[in-house]
Each structure stands twice: as C-alpha cells, then as structure tokens.
Structure 1
C-alpha cells in the first residue's frame, strides 16, 4: 500500500529556478579562467594550470558530491549552491570592475565555482523527478538544456577587445541569476515521505505508464562514504539500461575531441567567404535548440531509448562531411557536418537523461549522475590527449607535410572521422538492444514489489 502524498505547493517555481540556475552557470569555469589572461595579463602556463584545476577538481570530487546529494534534502541543497555561486560570482564581478583582481582570488573562486556548479547540476537532476511529472521530464530537461546552450555565444565577447567591460557585466548577470535561482528554489515544498512499499519494475519497460506521484524519498541509512559511492558505481554499471547509457556516453566523449580535431572550418579566402563562415558558425551554435525541439516532439511517440538510438544512427554519419570542407561547397559541408551531429547528440542526451531519472531509485540519482560525470569527464580528457597525439603523428609523416587539414590535405582526416562515426554507432548498439528488450518485456506486475534498498 502506498500512502497518499499531500498536495505539493508551488512546484511551478522549479522550472524558473532551474532556468535561472542554468543562466548562472552558462559560461564554463574554464572560460572564466581564460578571461583572466586578459584582465590580469597572466601567462599561459598559469591559465593552463587554472583550467586544469577547474576541470579535474569536480571530477575527483564527483563521487563524494553524489553521495552528499543522496544524503541531504535536495531543495535546501539547491538553495545553498545558488547562494554560494552568487557570492563567488559577485566577488569576481566586483574586483574585475574595480580593476583590483588578483590571480589568487581568481584561482580559488574558479575552482570553487567548478565544484559548486557540479553539485548544483547533480542535485537539480536528482530532484527533478520529485517535482515534475514523468510526462514532463523531457520538455523540462530540454528547456534547461537550451538555456545552458547560450554560453557559447558569450565566449567571443568575453575574450574580445572589450573584455574589460564585458567580463564584469557577464559575471554580474550570472551572479544575479544564481541568486534568483536560490530564491525560486526556496519556494519549493516537496514533502519527504517514508513509504513501506513502492512499485518498481524489474524489467526494462518504460515506467511512465505508472501514473504515480512520488515525493522525494527520505535518505537511506548511512554506510560510509566509500561504500555508498561504490554502491552508486556498481548500480550504474550493473543495471542493464544504465550500463548501455554509460557505454554510449563514455565512447562519444572519448571520440568527440578526436573528431573535432579532424573536422575543420573551411579555409579562408575572400572576405565574403569568411563572413559566410562566421555566420554559419553562429548557426551551428543553435544546434542544441533544434535537437531539444526534436526530442520534445518525438519522445512520446518513439520512446526514450529508441529515440536516442535513432538520433545517433541518423545524425552521426553527417560528421563525415567535415572532411569535405576544403572542397567546393565547403561552407555547406561544414554546416551539415557540424550542425546535424550536434543536434542528434542533444536529442540522445536529453532522452537518456530523462529515462535515467525515471528508472533510477530516488536516493541513487545523485550517485548515478556523479558516476556518469566522472566517467565521461575522464573519457573526454583521454580523447583530447589522443587527438593531440594523432595530429602530431600525422604531421610527422613527410608525405602529409604542412598541407595537413588544409585545402590540399582536407581528406587526410577522413579515416579518423570514419573511425569516430563507426565507434559512436557501435557504442549506441546497446541502447538498441535494451530498447528491444523493453518492447518485449512483460507488463509490470499488479502486485507491488519492495523497492531496492541500500546497504
């Protein structure tokens, strides 16, 4: 028997709060670190170390942060992360505007932002199923993703000639947005409720069919940080659907930097041509918006897992067109080769995120999200290293010489792009398999089963 949950008050403030939170995190910490080169006239070595710290620190702390998210109430945690983010951003905006910024202050603030933002993202994704109905997970996640995608549009401004004026203004706007998210999340009131029995399918069938309004689960018994973190990793790697998601996300994160190294912009030429390429670069940055729209329109009709697989299978082969950017019609190949795969990746990520929020027990959402952040982050670092080595190795071949990836050597990157495409498609095959198992799985049992409990 399931105890009826009391009415929720003001759940509509979650979406505005999440949108404000995304605005407060729209510029990555690494980009803010690079802006210090302009504001402080800092050397590239110091900036590189600062960017590395901003990247590695959240990865090293991802699992402890996931355990913490599963131990605490998510609503107050979102308020705290919003206030901390607003305070750090405001301090950076003030010292930048006054011209008294110092490297130690920037270093501590940027690392702190990277940690707080990781905590805020994991907490929001874990809290979302308790506030938003399962039928609205994809639209809400899509809206949040669209707001987060505006960050790339601000990067050229923060690194341009007017950076002394733009950077403080952007940081101040992000601080206001973070403070607003804390106020909006404070209005949430999602009750915790101790329940004895919760229906939980043991198959892969889509639980959206359960029209059950589940409140935030109370934290389970504590078993130590290491054991709880290991339980989250073990669940992620042993649950068939989550394991399939992990394989795809890790492989795509590993191959994306390599494909980016080989997919080049069309070579420069006449002034009108360069202007066209610049306009197309702005159009390409809108790919997440197109992908989010497709995910919202198709997720009900196709299903999350099939939608993710279809998006990968249909869009990723367009990546091969990036090898033709030095040929006639280069701007068109550049547009299709960048825009379509990015939009397809957005569709897949939104579908998988929403499905993970449905099938994962509430008090494991933080740890599964942190596990994916850790694995994909390490894969992206490895992919970047491999991409650099491939470039250096190709340059070392005398036959290619200095014409690599120019008009004369545009097709040199084609074998690598083929490898990336086939690797991504192969990594998505487990998604197709679990989608087929979901379609053939028997209906959920009418008698409720006891939900999995933590040790």
Structure 2
C-alpha cells in the first residue's frame, strides 16, 4: 500500500474525488434553498403563508429526524448513506421538473418533496461529517475541513445568484440543474475505493438508548458542551438577526434590493477568505485556541450593524459583515475538527446528530423572537439585542478548559464519556 503520510491532502485521489462530490452536492443544496421557493412563487403563485410552510418543510427534519438519524448512521457505513441521499435528491428534483413541464405541479407535491429533501439532507450531512475522519485521518481534519468549508462558503454565496439566473430561463431549468448536480455527486462517491470501517451497533437497549448515549457524550463532556453551547447561542441570535438585516438595508438605510444583495455578498467573500486561511490560523495559534480566539475577535463586530446608513455609514455594515463571516468560518472549521477528533468513530453519527439537533433545532425559535423584537424595539434596537446575544456565545468557551489548551492532545478521544451516565 502506498504511504501517504506527509502528502498534501489535495494530492490524495480519494479526497479530491470526495471534495468534488461535496462541491456539487453543496451547490445543489444552496441552489435548492432559493430555487424551490422560486418555483412555488413563479409557477404556483404561492401565498406568503404557503411560502413559510414550504421553507419549514425544507428545514424541520433536523428537529424531527436529527437524533434518530444519528443512531441509524452509526449502524451503517457512511459513504453508502451519502450516495443514497444524493441519488434520492436527484430523483426528487427530477419529479419536480417533470411535473412542472407537464403542467401538473401542485403545492401539495411541492411540500412532500420539500419534506423528503429535508430528510435526505439530514442523513447526508450527519453521514458526511462522520465520514471525514475515516477518509483523511484525524491528523488532517483541519486541512480537510478547511478545503470542504471553502466550497461550502462558495456554494452559499453563489447558490442564490445561480438560482436567480436559472429562474430567468425557467423555474424548471433551475431545478433540473440541481437534479444533475446531485446525480453526479452520488456517482463521484461511487468511485471512492478507500475501505471504510465496518459499522456496528455500539449502543445497547434499542434506539432510545443509542440516542441518549449521543446526547450524553455531547452534554456530559465539558469541552463538547462548551462548543455546542457557543454554537447554539450564536445560531439563536443569528436567527434573531436574519429577518431584520434586509429590513435594515432596504427599509432603514434606503438601499435598493440590488445594492442590498451586493452588500450582503461581503459575507461570502469573508467566508471564502476564512476557509482559505483557517488551516494556517490553526497551525499558528493552535487548533483549540483558535476556536475561542476567532470568535472573540470577530463576532462582536456585529454590534456596529445598527449604525448602518446611506453614504459613508455603509462601512458599519460591510466591515462587520465581512469580519464576522471570516471569523465564523475559521471558528467552524476549528470546532468541527475538534468535535471529530474528540469523538470515537462508533459514536460520530450520534455526536454530529446531537450537536445539529441542539444548534439547528433552536433556529426557528430565534426567527420568531427576531420578528417579535423587531415589532417591539424597532429594527435597529432588535439588531443590537441580536448582536450582543451573538457575541455572548464566546462566554461558553472562555469559561471552559478550552481557554487553557493550545492543541488537541494526542489521546484526545473521550471514551469515558461514552460510558458515563
């Protein structure tokens, strides 16, 4: 067998294939967030209530299926799970194209497809994060995650723009491109030949006991609990902020929709730079230290957002929007790599599912809180509350033992927490 120790990760054919597959899959997911609602709006003339229902159908699965999905993924090899999810999403998108071209597309079917797409995404992303350690090795997690995060950031930046251009050709065209991207993503995964560890049922006592073991690992381990707490706090208050940012730019500052979109693209640029430099930052500052340092230095800049206005005051939006996006990606690469390195392989699916349940399941509540705060305090006042809340997430990290660590210890896998009650 060829020795690949010390080889750059981009020289490994298995990683290059996986990276290409992930790029296509992430682009398809990013486009779908805009293309499916645009399909509803342009073809079905959906009402605001129906649009909200459709958006919920695409995201509710992490709250409903997230925990059992983690237990199921830990019973299987992860690569076949991703392949099935990609091919299933390709078929679902194809069904929308066929229905739209035939003039038979109805809102009920769109909701059904949205629910199934969300379920497939839930299984895919849990399996995806659980597969990376076996593909690249635990010593290359930061390098691998930074490369993968770069394409995720690019997809999130380009996805809405690609969907908007394709919808000008026709809503079915946008959805058909998604079907092709998922299809080729699955086919690329089929080409990976690196053996994957045999899956087994690590837990005892049934599905409930396995789910509890994943939650116990995350909540019972002080280091994992601090990371999950910081991410959950950030996500809740980011969800408070999200519905208000467009209102700030268009309603309060008076920018056009096109200008607002261009200003928000600064976040995508910051994310791409963060992905490009996250590996260097981890080596320079320490793989653990960079988690809290990136958060502490960059995220609090969002307190400047409420000062945004026309003219030179646009700097109060562009600078913190770029800076926070940069820091968030550096933080994400470091904390995801930390979680993967800390977790035993047989528990990776349940760990990732538990973390996603905790940090993504809270997002709908943040959105509701943002709307209420906007009505009560006004847009700028609510954004200030959101900014302070987002900044407070770092307290979890600073009050934990993470603050005194530079790098992950060699014997970092936290086996005792798997058995703890």
User: Normalised by the shorter chain, which TM-score bucket?
Assistant: 0.7 to 0.9
| Contact in 1 for aligned 2:213/2:418 (Cα 8 Å) | no
2:90 to 80, 86, 90: 86
| Contact in 1 for aligned 2:70/2:351 (Cα 8 Å) | yes
| RMSD of aligned residue pairs (Cα, Å) | 3.4
Q: Which runs of 5+ in 2 are unaligned?
A: 5-11
User: Alpha-carbon deviation of 1:77?
Assistant: 1.4
| Contact in 1 for aligned 2:23/2:151 (Cα 8 Å) | yes
CA distance in 2, matches of 1:281, 1:444: 42
Counterpart for residue 158 of structure 2: 153
Counterpart for residue 229 of structure 1: 211
Counterpart for residue 305 of structure 2: 322
SS in 1 for 2:192: coil
1:284 to 260, 264, 267: 267
- Residue 11 (str. 1) matches residue 3 (str. 2): no
Tell me: CA distance 1:332–1:282, structure 2 relative to 1, closer, same or farther (3 Å): same
CA distance in 2, matches of 1:450, 1:48: 42
CA distance in 2, matches of 1:47, 1:259: 20
Tell me: CA distance 1:298–1:452, structure 2 relative to 1, closer, same or farther (3 Å): same
Tell me: CA distance 1:430–1:261, structure 2 relative to 1, closer, same or farther (3 Å): farther
- Residue 248 (str. 1) matches residue 230 (str. 2): yes
User: Alpha-carbon deviation of 1:28?
Assistant: 4.7
| Contact in 2 for aligned 1:74/1:127 (Cα 8 Å) | yes
1:424 to 362, 381, 393: 393
| Contact in 2 for aligned 1:84/1:116 (Cα 8 Å) | yes
CA distance in 2, matches of 1:357, 1:83: 26
Tell me: CA distance 1:342–1:77, structure 2 relative to 1, closer, same or farther (3 Å): same
CA distance in 2, matches of 1:444, 1:229: 25
| Contact in 2 for aligned 1:232/1:364 (Cα 8 Å) | yes
Tell me: CA distance 1:275–1:174, structure 2 relative to 1, closer, same or farther (3 Å): closer
| Contact in 1 for aligned 2:344/2:415 (Cα 8 Å) | no
Moved more, 246-255 or 287-296: 287-296
Counterpart for residue 207 of structure 1: none
Moved more, 149-158 or 167-176: 149-158
User: Alpha-carbon deviation of 1:383?
Assistant: 1.4
User: Alpha-carbon deviation of 1:24?
Assistant: 2.7
CA distance in 2, matches of 1:139, 1:95: 42
Counterpart for residue 305 of structure 1: 288
User: Alpha-carbon deviation of 1:261?
Assistant: 5.3
User: Alpha-carbon deviation of 1:229?
Assistant: 0.5
CA distance in 2, matches of 1:43, 1:449: 50
| Contact in 1 for aligned 2:241/2:383 (Cα 8 Å) | no
- Residue 265 (str. 1) matches residue 249 (str. 2): yes
Q: Which has the greater radius of gyration?
A: 1
Tell me: CA distance 1:327–1:22, structure 2 relative to 1, closer, same or farther (3 Å): closer
CA distance in 1, matches of 2:297, 2:219: 27
Moved more, 45-54 or 178-187: 45-54
Tell me: CA distance 1:136–1:93, structure 2 relative to 1, closer, same or farther (3 Å): farther
SS in 1 for 2:216: helix
| Contact in 2 for aligned 1:17/1:180 (Cα 8 Å) | yes
1:29-428 superposed matches below 5 A: 29=33, 32-33=36-37, 35-149=39-153, 150-155=155-160, 158=163, 163=167, 165-191=169-195, 215=197, 218-220=200-202, 223-260=205-242, 264-265=248-249, 267=252, 277-326=260-309, 329-394=312-377, 404-405=378-379, 412-413=381-382, 415-417=384-386, 419-428=388-397
CA distance in 2, matches of 1:157, 1:352: 30
User: Alpha-carbon deviation of 1:450?
Assistant: 8.3
| Contact in 1 for aligned 2:58/2:118 (Cα 8 Å) | yes
TM-score (norm: length of structure 2):
0.85
Tell me: CA distance 1:220–1:390, structure 2 relative to 1, closer, same or farther (3 Å): same
Deviation string for 1:356-379 (max 9, x for gaps)?
A: 111101111111111111111232
Moved more, 247-256 or 40-49: 40-49
Deviation string for 1:162-181 (max 9, x for gaps)?
A: 73634322322221121112
